[in-house]
Amino acid sequence: MAPHRDLELSSVLEPDVARLGDVLSHAFGFPPDEAKIWFERAGIENLRVLKRGGDVRGGLVEIPMGQWFGGRSVSTMGVAGVGVVPEERGRGVAKHLMLSMLREARARGFALSTLYPASVTLYRSAGYERAGARFAIELDPRTCEVPRVPEATLAEVSGTPEDVVALYDATARRCPGYVDRGPYVWARVSRPRGRSTKTFTVSHAGALEGYVVLSHAMGAADSSVLVTDLAATTSRAARAILRLLVEYRSLASSVKWHGGASDLFTNLLPERHHTVTLTDWFMVRVVDVARALSSRGWPRGAGGALTLEVDDASMPENSGRYAISLEDGAAKVVAGRALAGAPRATIGERGLAALYTGHAASHVLADAGWLEADDDARALLDAWFAGAYPTTRDFF
Ligand SMILES: CC(C)(COP(=O)(O)OP(=O)(O)OC[C@H]1O[C@@H](n2cnc3c(N)ncnc32)[C@H](O)[C@@H]1OP(=O)(O)O)[C@@H](O)C(=O)NCCC(=O)NCCS
């Protein structure tokens, strides 16, 4: 594929903003006026363009944030709005754009990059792999019996109060894959495109135990409730939120939210009158192997040592040996070193992404040809990367 040395990645200066808006609104098929609102939310400093001789040929939106793994927030460069002008497509321009962005993100200290793909093939060519999923949970409130929870106090609040953010963080850190949100994602929660929302908190004895952010919209015959966020730290609060959602049943035929398939809320749902649908895979790229391994958390009590040989096809700066030892849930990672007598495993960058998040077990990766490891190494990897299936509530 052509190396595209004449195409350069750069930040966006004021004259390029309108041109990038034009390129991306055409690429994604939305009115050009909406690009301005989108870019303001994202921050002009987070836009990147690929230019040839001053002319914008493609671009993307960066969303710097974190993702929770093992109870720690690992820095990740979220990516949205990847677009290339039609006349340049099919020549490796998007791949070049992605790899240029990834090198810059690595230099800035990011450990991972995360995105929702429109094409898996494109992002695989830049070293991303499917690494988790987002599910839609939908119920008909007219057929969902949830008792009242009189001991819980419900209140509407305005904006996104600090204690609501703190409660999200406290619950999200326990869910592998959940986003450590920045302002861009929080804005998507409270101001989703084309809808207005209300936020309700749930307290008990004066202490906040949960909240829900939702919008209610009337359709042709009946209405629907779209929940953009919900969290609870007690069963009491989760049941009170479910009851509040069911209270829309006089008009609503659908209540929908996104998240994990087996979280507190789905587990408290009665009967079978709801659906859980996998709507979006997310893909992850390990941008800096040493940083990704040393900044995540690990299962409590996990121990052992292993030499991991990484063979990274598109970011060779990641390739090489890593001596990894875990003691009491903390990792020591030394790049460029092997551990004498310790089990060994060899993995590519895409297998590593799927392993890292807990999306795929070692036998799946080995059968796919993405991991070479003997039984001892596989047992260690499965113990180290074990946990709930990686999910997220947020689309970006
Ligand atoms: C998707 C898009 C960015 C691809 O740009 P591009 O410059 O043509 O992509 P590249 O030529 O760099 O493709 C890199 C690889 O991905 C593959 N690929 C690219 N788009 C693909 C698609 N839609 N479906 C399947 N494979 C695709 C290419 O075949 C190539 O594979 P190869 O390395 O095996 O040859 C461009 O078509 C576009 O702007 N589309 C509209 C917006 C969009 O969908 N963006 C993605 C949002 S997540």
Ligand 1: does its nearest atom lie under 6 Å from the Cβ of 83?
Answer: yes
pLDDT at 63: 98
Which residues lie closer than 8 Å to 122 by C-beta, 6 or more apart? 82, 94, 95, 98
pLDDT at 1: 54
Within 10 A of 185 (CB to CB), how many other CB atoms are there? 19
Tell me how far the alpha carbon of residue 292 lies from the centroid of ligand 1, in angstroms: 27
Tell me how far the alpha carbon of residue 176 lies from the centroid of ligand 1, in angstroms: 29
C-alpha to C-alpha distance for 94 and 60, rounded to whole angstroms:
10
pLDDT at 271: 85
b (16+ CB within 10 A) / e for 289-317: bbbbbbbbbbeeebebbbbbebebebbee
Ligand 1: does its nearest atom lie under 6 Å from the Cβ of 94?
Answer: yes
Closest residue to atom 4 of ligand 1, CA basis: 94
pLDDT at 289: 98
* pLDDT under 50: residue ranges of the chain: none
C-alpha to C-alpha distance for 205 and 246, rounded to whole angstroms:
24
Ligand 1: does its nearest atom lie under 6 Å from the Cβ of 36?
Answer: no
Ligand 1: does its nearest atom lie under 6 Å from the Cβ of 82?
Answer: yes
Q: Domain-by-domain residue ranges, the chain?
A: 8-110, 141-272, 286-384
Closest residue to atom 35 of ligand 1, CA basis: 92
C-alpha to C-alpha distance for 279 and 136, rounded to whole angstroms:
6
Ligand 1: does its nearest atom lie under 6 Å from the Cβ of 117?
Answer: yes
Terminal Cα-to-Cα distance of the chain (whole angstroms): 30
C-alpha to C-alpha distance for 387 and 355, rounded to whole angstroms:
11
> To test the ligand 1 pocket, which listed residue (91, 122, 123, 350) has its Cβ within 8 A of the most ligand atoms?
122
Closest residue to atom 28 of ligand 1, CA basis: 122
Indicate the SS3 state at residue 351: helix
Tell me how far the alpha carbon of residue 91 lies from the centroid of ligand 1, in angstroms: 9
Closest residue to atom 37 of ligand 1, CA basis: 89
Which residues lie closer than 8 Å to 150 by C-beta, 6 or more apart? none
Tell me how far the alpha carbon of residue 90 lies from the centroid of ligand 1, in angstroms: 7
Ligand 1: does its nearest atom lie under 6 Å from the Cβ of 27?
Answer: yes
CATH of domain 286-384: 3.30.1050.10
Domain 8-110 has CATH 3.40.630.30: yes
pLDDT at 2: 55
Give the pTM.
0.97
Domains 8-110 and 141-272 share a fold: yes
The class (CATH top level) of 141-272 is alpha beta
